[in-house]
Each structure stands twice: as structure tokens, then as C-alpha cells.
Amino acid sequence: MSAAFAYALAAIIALSLLGLPVGHAMIAGSILYLHVKGLDMGTAAEQLLNGMYTSYVLLAIPLFILAAEFMNSGSIMDRLLRFCNALVGRFRGGLAQVNVLQSIVFASMSGSALADAAGSGKIMQTLMTRDGKYTAAFAAALTAASSVIGPIIPPSIPLVLYALVSDTSIGFLFLAGVVPGILLGLVQMGLIAVTAKRRNFPVEERVPLRELPRITREAFPALMMPVILLGCLYSGITTPTEAAAAAAAYALLISAFLYRSLSWGDIYQSLARSARITISIGMLIAGALVFNYVVTAENIPKTLAAFLKAYELSPIAFLVVVNLLLLALGCFLEGTTILLIIIPVLLPTAQALGIDPVHFGVMAVMNIMIGLVTPPYGLLLFMMVKIAEVPLNAIVREVLPFLAVMIAALALITFVPDLVLFLPRLLGYKG
Amino acid sequence: MAEGDAGEDQRAEVMRGGWAEAAAWLRRRAENIAAGMLAVMFVAFVLQIVFRYFLNFPVGWTSELTVVLWLWLVLWGAAFVVRESEEIRFDLLTASVGRRARIAMGILVALALVVLYGASLKASFDYVTFMKVEKSSYLKIRMDWLFSIYLVFLIAVIVRYVRLLWHLVRGRDPGAADLTKASSGL
């Protein structure tokens, strides 16, 4: 590691701590590195432009964001929530169970946890706290925790980013996310079932079984969206990026024409909102592309791999260390930054230890997403403070049990790779 | 993502008079263009799928168009659409200090960015203009034109931070991001 690299790293950390947007901080720090090293400062431009221009797979990100925006209309949400309620509302703590189930359903249409919390999560918060059924803090903690499922179950923006930095197939990564995502949902539902008895949570009015076919029929076109997406992906009809476009097109078709819940104005708003989110994530990617050039030029990943190898870490020990490291970093760093900067540094070591890259990716993403509800710096917690208007410490107290079961699920995923890999292997993954 | 209303209030304060109205108008048009780029990207993808799988007539220009739009959307947006308060950043520290400290931190950051981006301007210009020797593979557009958005981005960001610097030096609080409200519980 050269002095120039130390300067660059210090500059990036200092600038972002002082409030500079992280993308700009990474570009500025890299420019400093090039200057100190006496290299051509145009390299920053070259890395950014060529990196963005050749990473075709990243185009899936704006399209997934757009698809989720199209699906976010009131009418579609109502139908899906009615469907979830008909299935699990009858149990004790019914609405809490609905909250988890709807997260799983919406997870299969959107790739971002924050989008899920702001969209359907917001509605669940209102439903749960109406008539004082649940405390606002519990509802907010649950909504934050259940939103974590969003980016684990495909589609997933973090997994697309991981595919970029690791050169792994998006299709297999998406398949690998299915079981861990559902597992997260199950542990949460289990926790609710236990808590519901103890705290005497209310039961929702039982929806008669004969109404189930009608409710399912009404929600059916929306429920088909993940089928369209995964169908396109695994039949080999389209590339992953095209599958994202097909999903967005399907979402537009059903919400604009079938459900008639999108006006021209709404479509424009969806486009503008998606564009803004794309720009924010895109700047972070741009910064990471430039900074990763510096990291690679300094040979950091290989040096680390050699260093760790000297310790003769077993793969399991390495995974445990990585999990602890990521959970700690997740308390302070934004998830996308961890994925784009820290993961590429760890990957060569993982590979040298014979850890499957798909397993590693899903585990890392799950960990980073759990970081979204880890105090003190959990973006989902902050979001719920805003939505639910409850103090952060009240939410934190309620979220701790959920955090505990989610970390248990993460441990299970870490130690039993087959849970992650059996689905991709079923569809031809050789790993 | 720190998207906040803190910037809104501050802007209402800053934006007075015709000059400010013009700036707000331009920002809205910049957003129209960004939304338009995303719309074209989406339509191009749909066309690509339709041409290849339904009409059995694969086209290459769509994938080139979409990737150009992706590059332009991000850099155009970062230059003209997204406000500082909306960008992804670490704001735990800025949210927890007082007004004077925040102004000092703002000045330091803006100065560093202006100096570093400014220092790379000449070399970036050289790189982009050097790319005139290459053309894109399908649409045959000169690469220096496609990559020129980076220079636009660089200059726009420098101008924005010089302006921010000006406000900060005159003692205007950049405003803590949303987390002031959020971290009150900690």
C-alpha cells in the first residue's frame, strides 16, 4: 500500500464524514491518488466513462426501479394486501403476519428495501396502527424488518451490483436469493406467532374460504409479475437486463390498462422518481468504478488474500469474520458502498478459500440488508421514524428481537450453503 | 439514501427573485429531460425484445442507445437534477454538530471538491477529446461526443460547489440532512 493510497483513502473517509456525497468523495479521492502518484488525472474520466459504458448489466437497475414504481399504484396494492389478508389475517397477530407476507409478495416485484418500506410498508403502518391495534413502534419495527426481505427475493438491485463486481450470473444469483428470502419471512412470522400469544395481538375478521378464489383472481395479474420476470430469465428468452425491461413493460401494461390505476401524469411521475433514484445509485457506481481502479492498481485484494492465507483461516472461519465485519460496517456505512468497495476486496480471498461466489454473494447481500435495520445507522429505521412519527429508540427496542431472528437466519445461510445453492443447481448452476 | 425536506426549506430561502425562479424552472426542465432519457431507454429495450423474439430480426443499435442513455442519465442528473440533499452520503456527523461547525465542514468539503475536480479538468478534457479517434460500433457516433457529458458534469459540479462555497462563506447554514430529526432518539 503506497502513501498515495493512504492519502486517497483518508481523503475519501474525511470528505464523506464531513458530508460530501459518497460518489463525489470517491472520485475526488481517486483524483488525489492519481495526482500524488504523478499519473494522468484523465484516468479518472477514462475509468468512469468506460466503466459505465461497458457495464451493460447495470441497465437492469433503472428498469427494476421503474417496474416497482409502476406496480406501486394504490389499486394494485389494495388487491395484493386483500389477498395476503385472506391468507394469514385469520391468525393471532393477523395484520402483523400480513405485513410479512406482503413483504414477500412485493419483494418479488421490487428490488429495493427502502422502496418497499416507503410503498406498501407505509400502508401497512397505517393499517396496523388504526384503532390502536398495534403500537406505532412495533408496527414500524416490523415494517422495517420485513422490508429487508425485498432485495433478497428477486429481483434485487444489490444482487445486480454484486453480479457486476463478482462476474457472477444474475440469473443464478436471483435463484439463490429465493430460499434465504423466504427463510427470513418464516423466522419473522414465527417470532410474530410467539409474540402474538404473549402480547395478545388482535385477530382480523376471518375471510370466508369461498371468497378466496375471487380475491385471488383479482390479484392474479399482479401476482404473475415475478413469474414473467423469472420466466424470461430462466427460459433463456431474454438477457437479465431485457427481463427487467419485460417486467417493467408488464407492470405498465397491467397497471395502466388492466387496472386503469395509472394516468399519464402518474406515468411521468414514476419515470421522474425512477430517474432520480437511478441517478443517486449511478453516481455511487461511478465513484466506485474510479476508486476500484485505484484499489486494483494498489493490488489490495490480492495482498489481503495473501495476508489472510498466512493465517490459514478455514472457509467457515473466514465467513464468520466476514459476517461480523459486514455487520459492523453496516452500522456505519451505506449498503451500496459496502457492496461496491468492500466486497471486491474480500472476493479474491473467498475464491482462494474455495467459497462459492453465489453463496458468498447472497450471504453478503443478506448481511448488508440486515444492516439497514441495525442501529445506530440503519436507513430503514430512519425511514420508519419519518413514516411512523415515533422516536428512533422506541423502534430500536421493538426491532431487536427481529434482528436476533434475522441474524440467526443469516447464520443458517452461512453454515449451510446448500440452502442457497440447491435451487440454482436444480437449474443448471455448476458450483 | 438521504432524501430530505431540509433542502426544500433552505431552497425556499435561497430562491427569491427572478433569477431564482429561472433556476428552478431550468431544474424542472432538467428533470423532464432525465425522465425522457429513462423513457427512451425503456422503449428501446421493449423494441429490442420485440424485434429479436417476435419479429426474428435482431437489432444492435438499441443496446448501444440504452447504454449511452444510462451514462448520460447518471451524469446529466448528477450535474443538473439531483440536489446535494438527495445524494447518498454519510450524514451522521454533519447532523450532530452545531451550525458553525457545519458551515466550517461545508467550506472544507466544497473547497476540496472544487480544487480536485478543477485540477483534473484539463486532463479529463484531453482524454475526452482524444476519444474522437473512435466511433461507437452501431450508431457510428464519435466517442468524444458521447463522452462529452463527463466534461459537462465536471464543470456543472464545480460551478455548483463554488456557489455553495459562496453561500457558506457568507454564513448560510447548509442545513443538516434529515437525520437531525431521526437521530434525536439516540
Quote the minimal CA–CA distance from B35 to chain A in Å: 5
Interface contact flag, B84 A46, Cβ < 8 Å: no
Q: Which pLDDT does position A48 carry in this prediction?
A: 97
Could you tell me which residues are beta bridge partners of residue B142?
Answer: B135
B182 band by pLDDT with thresholds 50, 70 and 90: very low
Nearest to B38 among A17, A275, A377 (CB): A275
- Distance, CA of A198 to CA of B145 (rounded, Å): 66
- Measuring CA to CA, how many Å separate A277 from each of A13, A239, A265, A369, B82? 23, 23, 18, 18, 9
Q: Kindly report the average pLDDT of chain B as a whole number.
A: 82
How many cross-chain Cβ pairs, A to B, lie less than 8 Å apart? 223
- Distance, CA of A131 to CA of A150 (rounded, Å): 28
The pair phi, psi for residue A188, each rounded to 5°, is -65, -45
**Mean pLDDT on A233-258:** 89
Residue of chain B with shortest Cα separation from A268: B35
Interface test with B, best of A31, A147, A329 (most B CBs within 10 A): A31
B2 band by pLDDT with thresholds 50, 70 and 90: very low
Going through A199-265 in order, the beta strands assigned E by DSSP cover none
A409 band by pLDDT with thresholds 50, 70 and 90: very high
- Distance, CA of A305 to CA of A324 (rounded, Å): 18
A238 vs A162: which has the higher pLDDT: A162
Residue of chain B with shortest Cα separation from A63: B42
Q: Which residues have C-beta within 8 Å of that of residue A88, sequence separation ≥ 6?
A: A94, A97, A98, A101, A189
Amino acid at A136: A
Amino acid at B98: G
Question: With contacts defined as CB-CB under 8 Å, which chain B residues touch A44?
Answer: 120, 124
**Mean pLDDT on A61-65:** 93
Distance of CA B9 to the CA centre of its chain: 21
- Measuring CA to CA, how many Å separate B19 from each of A198, B7, B22? 62, 18, 5
- Quick check: A406 pLDDT over 50? yes
Q: Which pLDDT does position B181 carry in this prediction?
A: 28
**Sequence ranges of the domains in chain B:** 1-83, 90-177
Residue of chain A with shortest Cα separation from B65: A53
Residue at grid coordinates 451522521:
B92
Interface contact flag, A41 B113, Cβ < 8 Å: no
Q: Which pLDDT does position A431 carry in this prediction?
A: 77
Q: Would you call A93 helix, strand, or coil by DSSP?
A: coil
Of the ranges A112-121, A320-329, A369-378, B91-100, which one carries the lowest mean pLDDT score? B91-100
pLDDT more than 90, % of chain B: 52
Joined together, the cell numbers standing for residue A350 give 473467498
**Mean pLDDT on A263-274:** 94
Q: Which pLDDT does position A427 carry in this prediction?
A: 86
Residue (of B109, B89, B102) closest to B165 by Cα position: B109
- Quick check: B179 pLDDT over 80? no
Local structure of residue A92 (DSSP, 8 states): B
Q: Would you call B135 helix, strand, or coil by DSSP?
A: strand
pLDDT more than 70, % of chain B: 78
**Mean pLDDT on B22-42:** 94
* pLDDT tens-digit readout, A13-44: 899 888 888 899 999 999 999 999 999 999 99
Residue (of A4, A20, A39, A263) closest to B174 by Cα position: A20
Amino acid at B53: Y
Residue of chain B with shortest Cα separation from A247: B46
Quote the minimal CA–CA distance from A331 to chain B in Å: 11
Q: Which pLDDT does position A131 carry in this prediction?
A: 85
Contact A36, A299 (CB under 8 A): no
Contact B114, B37 (CB under 8 A): no
pLDDT more than 90, % of chain A: 71
* Interface predicted TM-score (ipTM) of this complex, two decimals: 0.90
- Distance, CA of A286 to CA of A45 (rounded, Å): 10
**C-alpha distance across the termini of chain A, in Å:** 33
* pLDDT tens-digit readout, A84-95: 999 999 999 999
Amino acid at B100: R
Q: Would you call A142 helix, strand, or coil by DSSP?
A: helix
B89 band by pLDDT with thresholds 50, 70 and 90: low
- Quick check: B177 pLDDT over 50? no
Query: Would you list the DSSP string of A150-206?
Result: TTTSSS-HHHHHHHHHHT--HHHHHHHHHHHHHHHHHHHHHHHHHHHHHHT--BPPP
Q: Kindly report the average pLDDT of chain A as a whole number.
A: 92
Local structure of residue B53 (DSSP, 8 states): I
Q: Which pLDDT does position B185 carry in this prediction?
A: 20
- Distance, CA of A431 to CA of A166 (rounded, Å): 14
Nearest to B70 among A34, A52, A395 (CB): A52
- Measuring CA to CA, how many Å separate A224 from each of A32, A80, A216, A250, B68? 50, 11, 11, 9, 32
Contact B113, A24 (CB under 8 A): yes
Interface contact flag, B70 A336, Cβ < 8 Å: no
Residue at grid coordinates 434475522:
A406
- Quick check: A103 pLDDT over 70? yes
Task: Using CB atoms within 10 Å of the CB of residue A153, give its burial: 0 to 12 exposed, 13 to 18 middle, 19+ buried.
Answer: buried
Q: Would you call A63 helix, strand, or coil by DSSP?
A: helix
Residue at grid coordinates 500524488:
A36
pLDDT more than 70, % of chain A: 100
Joined together, the cell numbers standing for residue A289 give 468504478
A348 band by pLDDT with thresholds 50, 70 and 90: very high
- Quick check: B186 pLDDT over 80? no
Interface contact flag, A277 B126, Cβ < 8 Å: no
Residue (of A51, A58, A26) closest to A281 by Cα position: A58
Joined together, the cell numbers standing for residue B164 give 455553495
Query: Would you list the DSSP string of A391-404?
Result: -HHHHHHHHHHHHH
B1 band by pLDDT with thresholds 50, 70 and 90: very low
Query: For chain A, how many residues are written?
Result: 431
- Measuring CA to CA, how many Å separate A316 from each of A313, A321, A322, A420? 8, 9, 10, 15
* pLDDT tens-digit readout, B112-157: 999 999 999 999 999 999 999 999 988 899 999 999 999 999 999 9
Interface test with A, best of B62, B109, B145 (most A CBs within 10 A): B109
Q: Would you call B142 helix, strand, or coil by DSSP?
A: strand
A310 vs A325: which has the higher pLDDT: A325
Q: Which pLDDT does position B83 carry in this prediction?
A: 74
B86 band by pLDDT with thresholds 50, 70 and 90: low
- Distance, CA of A352 to CA of A356 (rounded, Å): 10
Q: Which pLDDT does position B84 carry in this prediction?
A: 65
- Distance, CA of A332 to CA of A20 (rounded, Å): 15
CA A298, B89, A393, A181 dihedral sign is negative
Joined together, the cell numbers standing for residue A268 give 411521468
B180 band by pLDDT with thresholds 50, 70 and 90: very low
- Quick check: B16 pLDDT over 60? no
